[in-house]
Amino acid sequence: MKPLHTPDTQDNALDIRGLRISLPGTARPVLDGVDLAVASGETVALVGESGSGKTLTSRSALRLLPPGALTEGTVRVGDEDVLTMTAERVRALCTGTVAMIFQDPRAAINPLRRIGDFLTEGVVLTGAMNHADAIARATELLQEVGVDASVLRKYPSQVSGGMLQRVVIASALMGDPSLLLADEPTTALDVTTQAEVVALLGRLQQRFGTAMLFVTHDLDLAATISDRVYVMYAGRIVESGPAHVLFAHPRHPYTAALLASTPRLDAPAGRLAAIDGQPPDLRTKLTGCPFAPRCLLATEVCDQQEPEPRAAPDRAGHRAACHHSDHVERSAADA
């Protein structure tokens, strides 16, 4: 299959090509030919239902793979392929070039260590900074994320979830990374704190020029924070393009269905639209388009032939892997 991602520049902070990850005991790959790129200084959102492969895709940039995983393709961070690195080089990558913000901040921090130790330990152990410089850097970053430096002496249980997520964001920036991986970083937070954290990430990304891959199932959030969007289904990228274009003119029925099922404050009261059926599980071998069993537009060709990505006319960088992408866009425009 031809790649769905559009940047072909060598200045990509992350460049995934043909990534296929298989696990023992499954009938099909967990990730099946994923192509995705994040340019330097760019924010890219990866969206889709739970279980579609979003988290595994992001974790592949740090080679955080399940036991027994078999891989094909390349995951390049800068000029290096993470999948062929030595373990020592991957550890160095984790403490400098790439940083990750996980869903649950409390799961990311040792509850028995003070927050100051959590922030400074990595850069001190690698020799990037001495202890005094690390404390100064941590204090500066805590100020950037709106947290008082007194938190350095506290334990994780002594601060709120929203404050702890800000601490995790500060920790991610300690090594001055060129790539930030944010795996649903607002899921465990209340709505007000979510908005604050998203605004904070946007400000920090612009200030430090860090590239960011933002994993989320929240389409409104993806539209707000990202420059480009990839839509994932059953371990495959089914649509990609500039955020403002993709959400205004979806060309894959899965993207259109996700948008139709998103609650809107300005919509009339009534039952929310839903996508019938279930995503295929890993015991199911796929033939043709993986979304065909749930798609209202599916025809015989959808069941038999995997669709190639098709470019949208007159819209650079917008591509969808659908046999009926033109019809999807016309239907969305009429809705």
Q: In the predicted model, what is the mean pLDDT of residues 270-298?
A: 88
Q: Sorting pLDDT into bands at 50, 70 and 90, what band is 162?
A: confident
Tens of pLDDT, residue by residue over 129-156, are 999 999 999 999 999 888 999 999 999 9
Q: In the predicted model, what is the mean pLDDT of residues 221-244?
A: 95
Rounded distance between C-alpha atoms, residue 59 and residue 36, angstroms: 13
C-beta neighbour count of 24 within 10 angstroms: 9
Rounded distance between C-alpha atoms, residue 75 and residue 82, angstroms: 6
> What percentage of the chain reaches a pLDDT higher than 70?
93
Give the range among 73-82, 185-194, 278-287 with minimum mean pLDDT.
185-194
Longest dimension (CA), the chain: 66
pLDDT over 50 at 208, yes or no = yes
Of the candidates 94, 244, 115, 229, the residue with the CA atom closest to the CA atom of residue 172: 94
The predicted pLDDT at position 207 comes to 83
Q: In the predicted model, what is the mean pLDDT of residues 115-137?
A: 91
- Structural domains in the chain, CATH included, are 12-97+178-191+207-334 (3.40.50.300), 108-176 (no CATH)
Q: In the predicted model, what is the mean pLDDT of residues 274-278?
A: 87
Rounded distance between C-alpha atoms, residue 234 and residue 183, angstroms: 18
Is pLDDT larger for residue 160 or for residue 267?
160
Looking at every residue in the chain, the average pLDDT score rounds to 89
Those residues with Cβ within 8 angstroms of residue 69's Cβ, 6 or more apart along the chain or in another chain: 21, 22, 23, 30
pLDDT over 60 at 1, yes or no = no
Which helix (H) or strand (E) segment holds residue 300: the answer is helix 300-304
- Angle at which helix 115-125 crosses helix 131-144, to 10 degrees, equals 130
Side-by-side strand order, sheet with 70-77 = 31-39, 12-22, 70-77, 80-81
Rounded distance between C-alpha atoms, residue 127 and residue 109, angstroms: 21
Enumerate long-range contacts of 304-308, CB under 8 Å, 24 or more apart: 306/1, 308/1, 308/2
pLDDT over 70 at 275, yes or no = yes
The predicted pLDDT at position 150 comes to 95
Kindly tell me the burial class for residue 236, based on how many C-beta atoms sit within 10 Å of its own C-beta (0-12, 13-18, 19 or more).
buried
Tens of pLDDT, residue by residue over 250-263, are 999 999 999 988 77
DSSP 188: T
Of the candidates 5, 186, 179, the residue with the CA atom closest to the CA atom of residue 98: 179
pLDDT over 80 at 280, yes or no = yes
Q: What type of residue sits at position 39?
A: A
Rounded distance between C-alpha atoms, residue 53 and residue 31, angstroms: 6
The predicted pLDDT at position 74 comes to 97
